[in-house]
Chain A
Amino acid sequence: MTGCLPGRLRPVVAAGLIAIACLLPARADARDQLAIGVTQFPSTLNPLIDAMLAKSYILAMAHRPVSMFDHDWNVTCRMCTELATFENGRAVATDAVDADGTPTGRRGVISRVTLRDDVFWGDGVPVTTRDVVFTWEVGRHPDTGVPDRQSFLDITRIEVHDEKTFSVVSSKLDYLYQASFGLLLPAHLEEAAFAEPANYRHRTLYQTDPTNPGLYNGPYRITAVSPGASVVLERNAHWKGQSPAFDRIELRTIEKTAALEAHLLSGAIDYIPGEMGLTLDQALSFEQRHGDRFDVVYKPGLIYEHIDLMLDNPILADLRVRRALLHAIDREAVNARLFEGKQPVAHTMVNPLDWIHTDDVRTYPHDPDRARALLDAAGWTTIRNGIRHDANGTRLALEFMTTAGNRVRELVQQVLQSYWREVGVEVTIRNEPARVLFGQTISNRAFSALAMFAWLSAPESLPRTTLHSNSIPAAGNNWSGQNYTGFRNADMDRLIDEIELELDRTRRAGLWKRVQQIYAEQLPVLPLYFRSDAYIIPRWLKGIRPTGHLAPTTNWIEEWRVE
């Protein structure tokens, strides 16, 4: 608006500009501090409430689980002395009983776990079995609204042997029996808040007094929270493990990725993590422009981008059409052109990094002629105005939905649309914001044909909720389950049940192979690719090791070093 100004005001403006110039950044690069820029702010810091990436990222610096998946995708102890296995005698299989003591007819397991002697809450109180029992009670209470309550309900009883040793009596013996317990709550602080379970999410000290040092047991504790903007962490005086490199870590939430990048370049933040930072194409472009100052590390992970097909749609109920759709698109080209080859094409939902992965499945290379032949065979033979019709004159038209506002998905969507047009399939795009798409359209199976989104999963995660025919959401079961496509396959159902109870790794591998083969044969879902995270790391920061699974890198923050 400066052009608007009459002559007398010009000096004022000039003075203003000089004043701005004087305010230029003068931040020294203090290497005992680290500023991390992320795109999300956590809705709460309570470990049990609201599963959210931003929370687990921050909390992993201040809070450690009893056991978790490590970099090699094996379960390891973080706060326990050793894992409970059948081999070392800490785990014993039994016949399961329910809460009243009546046998359920299934096999259960009792795992004896000992907490390490050197783990303390930030106020010096040792972490004990009391915390374990308290956490279990909060988790299983029907009114607290804890996600993943089922995992707490599977535990029928916790036997306390002493301050440090307890046995978990689980009603379910499955292949993941070792991963028995995650984050703990400090009973000595949180018991008061739990007096009103329905309001626990609001009364918890993580919400009302988040800087209380006693809430944290990791290398850092949270010392300042400004909602929506930033979280500050400082060293936890009672941490006995390896000492981390930084005195102070600040996490700043900057929602717009363009602003995030500008902040990084101006030095206001040091590092953008891959867990919730730049999109892949932005990172690729960033690397081209600033690769001299930053290391950009790409890590494909467990985020599986795919298109759910509505199998109730008569067009998609035909397997030939499903296969044709996949043959028609060039996923390799999309990967090469949009992502410079950094996002590996998926053939099934199982990531190649996962040990259960097999290459021995049917694949669908880009082959438009094959796609056309399959569509012809399916009866879509008449082509009018470039669109296929069947003998009754029905158009081969499909509606394609994804999350509005997710730029990369919307790009991919438009690319796929043009591939399908080339083989005579009319695809119309109708996108909805994530809150509508997931809150309603997909979960109520209200999409008519194609829905593109991603699954996040843990290593070797059983597709019970996504592929078992019991998990098809319907009004009758209040829309629970995530088998949105409506996939029904007796073999798949049987395999899922068998895998869950199979403790032998080799035999399990065989079952997993069949699961992947059926998936690739039947194509209830069009697999696209596994998403890669891009970590934008300053040259001087070393020791960040992405896991490829859901555990954020901050779980090993004490290994981060300045060089």
Chain B
Amino acid sequence: MLRFLLARLGQSAVVLFAMSFATYVLLGLMPGDPIDLMFAADPDITSDDIARLKALHGLDQPLIDRYLAWLANALAGEFGYSRLLNEPVFEVLAPRLANSLLLMAVSLAIAIAIAVPAGIHAALRPGSWSDQAINLCCFAGVSIPPFWFALLLILLFAVVLGLLPAGGMGHEGDGVLERLRYMVLPVLTLSAAAVAGYTRHVRSAMIEVMREEYIRTARAKGVAERHVVRRHALRNALIPVVTIAALDVGGLFSGALITETMFGWLGMGKTIYDAVMGNDYNLALVGLLLATLVTLLANILADIAYAWLDPRITYRRGAHG
């Protein structure tokens, strides 16, 4: 297990390095460099001034040298500043990662709380009217464009009914209840797709499990159906679900990006988007790497959880989770 973990961590580190390089180069391919932007509105700046400032900030070096310099600094814990906010990137990102994780955790919890009973309900009555309805809803959930769903929610709850704020996160001096109001719509948006995905997984895992030998044995022994479901089937059906939830953190980040942008929720996704749109290279780069790191860690966590929940699995080589 320990060897497996180390190997996974090693792989993740390789992915992270590859990502940092690829992203650095890609961002270098974006238009407009920071010094040009700093003076875009200044008519009197001379070319000498610009050249000197570029040299001062190392922007006259070839891309590869700049990357190596960045990497050396990054490994020393020095990640530089955000152009849009003039603050060290980690000071910008830390609270925003927390905001994202809050949004994602609440949505995930709600999604699981709905998906598990819905999936079981459907699995126990395959082909029934309610199963079909749940199935259709799930298809709807994964097919609805999340930003459109958010637009509709804003339209209904903020514009037409005026019940909930159309965006933002609350402000200075607001109580917990007031802040919760700001969370309702983003959480609804983010959990919609997740509910649909998880329900389908729970359902198919449950159907699979209910066909297993030990369930039949339990039934044959006259164990009450309720008990069979709760005691035997559910536990085994949850294993793939937990794994998928952890594996899906990358997808959740994608969903969070849309949700955060739509609702002005100051999280990682919105920060990365704004940074890309505002040519804040450094913030975009470090933000993307941080999001990747969180995703990779979640994947490793998924493997551990899988091993822990399912004693049949032992890790040797070649297991991909």
A residues with CB within 8 A of B? 1, 3-6, 8-9, 20-25, 43-44, 49-51, 142-143, 145, 147-151, 198, 201-202, 207, 224, 226-230, 232, 250, 252, 254-256, 258-259, 262-263, 265-266, 268, 433, 435-436, 438-441, 443, 464-466, 471, 477-482
Contact = CB atoms under 8 A, between A and B. Distances in A.
Contacts of A252: 168, 171
A256 B102 CA distance: 23
A443 B40 contact: yes
A150 B39 CA distance: 12
Interface in B130-158: 130, 133-134, 137-138, 140-141, 154, 158
A223 to B, nearest CB: 9
B88 to A, nearest CB: 8
A148 B39 CA distance: 9
Given A4-B134, A435-B278, A440 B32 contact: yes
Interface string B85-105: 111100010000000000000
B86 A1 contact: no
A8 to B, nearest CB: 7
Contact of A4 (B43, B167, B195): B195
A465 B45 CA distance: 11
Interface string B4-36: 000000000000000000000000000110011
Given A5-B118, A147-B39, 14 more contacts: A5-B114, A6-B121, A23-B178, A23-B184, A50-B86, A202-B88, A226-B172, A230-B172, A250-B171, A255-B264, A262-B154, A435-B279, A443-B40, A478-B51
Contacts of B195: 1, 4
B310 to A, nearest CB: 27
A367 to B, nearest CB: 35
Q: Which bracket fits the contact residues of B?
A: 35 or more
A262 B47 contact: no
Given A250-B172, A480-B45, A227 B92 contact: yes
B37 A439 contact: yes
Interface in B188-240: 188, 191-192, 195-196, 199
A439 B40 contact: yes
Nearest to B135: A4
B321 interface: no
A142 B52 contact: yes
B81 interface: yes
B141 A263 contact: no
Interface in B164-194: 164-169, 171-172, 177-178, 180-181, 184, 188, 191-192
B43 A259 contact: no
A80 B38 CA distance: 31
A149 B86 contact: no
Nearest to A227: B85
B172 A262 contact: no
A439 B41 CA distance: 10
Contacts of B74: none
A559 B155 CA distance: 37
A480 B41 CA distance: 11
A269 to B, nearest CB: 10
B44 A254 contact: no
Most buried by B among A1, A198, A227, A229: A1
B44 A202 contact: no
A202 B49 contact: no
B64 interface: no
Contacts of A226: 171-172
B246 interface: no
A224 B172 contact: yes
Closest 3 CB pairs of A and B: A439-B32, A478-B47, A150-B44
A32 to B, nearest CB: 14
A254 B141 contact: no
A170 to B, nearest CB: 15
A265 B42 CA distance: 38
B166 A258 contact: yes
Contact of A482 (B43, B140, B154): B43
B196 A4 contact: yes
Contact of B165 (A151, A262, A464): A262
Contacts of A268: 165, 168
A481 B133 contact: no
B31 A265 contact: no
Contact of A3 (B32, B38, B133, B180): B133
B303 to A, nearest CB: 29
Given A6-B121, A227-B85, A254 B279 contact: no
Contacts of B164: 20
A443 B114 contact: no
Most buried by A among B38, B84, B85, B264: B264
B127 interface: no
B50 interface: yes
Nearest to A151: B44
B266 interface: yes
Contacts of A443: 36, 40
B85 A228 contact: yes
Contacts of A250: 171-172
A315 B233 CA distance: 77
B162 A265 contact: yes
Nearest to B176: A23
A477 B159 contact: no
Nearest to B195: A1
A443 B31 CA distance: 12
A232 B171 CA distance: 10
Contacts of B121: 6
B159 A262 contact: yes
Most buried by A among B38, B137, B172, B192: B172
A202 to B, nearest CB: 5
A149 B172 CA distance: 37
Nearest to A44: B86
Contacts of B92: 227
A8 B41 CA distance: 61
Interface in B45-66: 45-47, 49-53, 56-57
Nearest to B278: A435
A440 B37 CA distance: 9
Given A5-B118, A254-B264, A43 B84 contact: yes
A1 B114 contact: yes
Given A202-B81, A224-B172, A439 B36 contact: yes
Interface string B265-296: 01000010000011100000000000000000
B264 A143 contact: no
B86 A207 contact: yes
A51 B266 CA distance: 24
Contacts of A266: 158, 162, 165-166
Nearest to A51: B41
20 contacts: A1-B141, A1-B196, A4-B196, A25-B181, A43-B86, A51-B41, A142-B52, A143-B56, A149-B42, A202-B81, A202-B87, A227-B92, A229-B171, A232-B172, A259-B263, A262-B165, A265-B162, A439-B36, A466-B43, A480-B50
A437 B266 CA distance: 27
Contacts of A464: 43
Nearest to A22: B177
A151 B44 CA distance: 9
